[in-house]
Chain A
Amino acid sequence: MTLLTEKRAPRPQPETRKIRGKVHLREHLMGWLFVGPFGIVFLAFLIAPLAYALYLSLFQKKLIGGTSFVLFDNYVKAFTDPSFLSGVWFVIRFSLVSIPLQILIALALALILDAVTTAFARFSRLMIFLPYAIPTVIGAVMWGFLYSKGFGPLTDIFGLFGATAPDFLSSDLIFYGLLNVVTWQWAGYYMIILYAALQGVDPTLYEAARMDGAGRWQIATRIKIPLIAPALILILVFSLIGTLQFFNEPQILRYLAAGAIGSDFTPNMYAYQQAFSLANFNYGSAISFALGGVVFICVYAFLFFTRKRRSFL
């Protein structure tokens, strides 16, 4: 753009033009020098694999006749495959419940921690954030123990009241079992982001609102929440992308909840199974790509409905 406008500008003195051209060339060069190394990694580990996955997904490997070009057959197969569709349906359902729950808890905690300024509140902030430092795999292993009949405290606790403990690893309750693991893992992280955004708000705004007779509740809902809306949108988008790709927790709890979690429980698990257990890389790639399409549509729909498209992307 800059190059074009320069050509059309009235011709300046030869010397100055030469200097300006040099400065611009230098700026282009330096810009690309700084961005270049990342650019190479970006091309090698994002663009190239994506293009290759797209390419792979257009082929099918048959026992007789080898690999053949089938265009969109794999996608037609995926979107009529009950395993893929039930996985997609599960992650969408799970997103609709788990994301609002996590964000609500995180928002409430951030507002409390922003208002309460005792040493205990500071301690709580760190403790609630702690699970973020735990690998999701380890978090799932830990909760798996707590849920299990043999080692878990649930049997004892419910036994005190003469009740039978709920089995969060059964197919009826696995949804809630996973919901709990995910909330435990991520609510603290979202809380920290929202808390940091709240700390960035100018406190004189609260003073002004208080002068006008606003209560604590009104300050929270009318001033604090609207001001941190961009941070809320950001974490909503990231949790949506993450939840639609759900893999680690169900994959780990699979061993303990054999009946409740099958190998096609989420689309990512299904893609993993197709590619690495069945060596069906073409169909696995098609599933990954189809999942990417689902993610894109969901994120775009979300950003469209919140009318905040310009603030983030």
Chain B
Amino acid sequence: MTDHTSVRAGARRPQRYLPMQILLGFLVIYFLVPFWWVIVNSSKDAPGLFGGGNTLWFTDQIDYLGNLRQLFTYDGGIYLRWMLNSTLYAIAGGVGATVLAVMAGYGFAKYRFAARRFSFAVVLGALMVPATALVIPTFILFSRLGLTNTVWAVILPSLLNPFGVYLMHVYARDAVPDELLDAARVDGAGELRTFFQIALPLMRPAVVTVLLLSAVASWNNYFLPLAMLSDNRLFPVTVGLGLWQGIASANNAGTTSLWSLIILGSLVSVIPLIIAFFSLQRHWRGGLSVGGLR
């Protein structure tokens, strides 16, 4: 803790407890080991993968390009399709769920309408309903409507995000002053204009957070698409890789190439979300604190 470091950090002097930083270092290694393993092993060809040797280090043959070509051409390029499906489900489900949650959270926070307390209590109660418990009846209802095995079977149920409503409610209540809304109304702005021009900009950190959380939930969803879809061209990448994993495990001998596809496929599939999280970091961190404060 020399003088120049404390100047650099401004008002708060940087705290560096060395033992704790060493502990952090070990934990970072633990959290990164699976990524490292996947990065290393997706560079190998089948002999390198199965030939023994150090599983945590590269072999002489580093062949990312060849493996990528194999991944994206296998079975008529089905992997790229899975990635695009995942993207579609994440964007459609995420944006839809966010629009609904922002409107509902704002409505619950700022209007005293009939049955408001009761409705909000029901929404909070819904947080406790196991999401997977809804999949079986939803599947039967959708199959009656002929919606199973379509993209709608995955997108429509993803629109439901009670936690998003809860988060938006808390945020709108605290971050949007009633006086400001009243002032806008007195100045002649309609309710919708007040919402879009006054409230929405104030709620932006929470909106980004809810959008990110809903998109991640859709991207990561496994149970719902697994139950709803039977055509593998509609699979998201989670269900697709699960399928490959099942095939590869069932007959280990004949499908050595599939293992290397699964390894590289796992690596490629996590890249979009990691980029999204890092690039939007500034926005979601402000919003995450809200959910925990009440």
Contacts and interface: CB of A to CB of B under 8 A. Distances in A.
Interface of A: 2-3, 27-35, 37-39, 41-42, 44-46, 48-50, 52-53, 56, 109, 112-113, 115-118, 120-121, 123-124, 126-139, 141-146, 150-153, 156, 184, 188, 192-194, 196-197, 199-200, 203, 228, 230-231, 234-235, 241, 244-245, 247-248, 251-252, 255-256, 258, 268, 271-272, 275-276, 281, 284-285, 288-289, 291-292, 295-296, 299, 311-313
Given A52-B137, A117-B14, A255 B273 contact: no
Interface of B: 9, 12, 14-17, 20-21, 23-25, 27-28, 30-35, 37-38, 41, 49-50, 54-56, 99-101, 103-104, 106-108, 111-114, 116, 119, 123-134, 136-141, 156-157, 159-160, 162, 165, 191, 195, 216, 219-220, 222-223, 227, 237-239, 241-242, 245-246, 248-250, 259, 262-263, 266, 269-270, 273-274, 276-278, 281, 285, 288-289, 291-294
Nearest to A235: B292
A121 B24 contact: yes
B262 A130 contact: no
Given A135-B220, A137-B220, A116 B134 contact: no
Given A35-B108, A46-B126, A247 B266 contact: no
A34 B107 contact: yes
B290 to A, nearest CB: 8
17 contacts: A39-B119, A48-B141, A52-B137, A53-B136, A130-B35, A135-B269, A153-B55, A184-B34, A196-B288, A196-B292, A203-B12, A230-B293, A247-B222, A251-B242, A288-B136, A292-B130, A313-B124
Nearest to B270: A134
Contacts of B124: 313
Contacts of B128: 241, 295-296, 299
A247 B41 CA distance: 27
Contacts of A2: 112, 114
A53 B135 CA distance: 10
Contacts of B136: 53, 271, 275, 281, 284-285, 288
A86 to B, nearest CB: 18
B113 A268 contact: no
A247 B135 CA distance: 13
A128 B55 CA distance: 23
Given A197-B293, A245-B131, A34 B111 contact: yes
A3 B108 CA distance: 18
B220 A143 contact: no
B106 A34 contact: yes
Contacts of A123: 28
Contacts of B195: 34
Contact of A46 (B99, B129, B262, B266): B129
Given A141-B245, A142-B37, A295-B128, A42 B123 contact: yes
A118 B14 CA distance: 6
Given A135-B270, A255-B249, 20 more contacts: A2-B114, A28-B111, A30-B191, A35-B119, A42-B123, A46-B126, A46-B160, A49-B141, A50-B129, A50-B133, A115-B17, A117-B12, A118-B16, A145-B263, A156-B56, A231-B291, A247-B132, A247-B222, A252-B242, A276-B227
Given A34-B104, A35-B108, A52-B141, A116 B24 contact: yes
A231 B140 contact: no
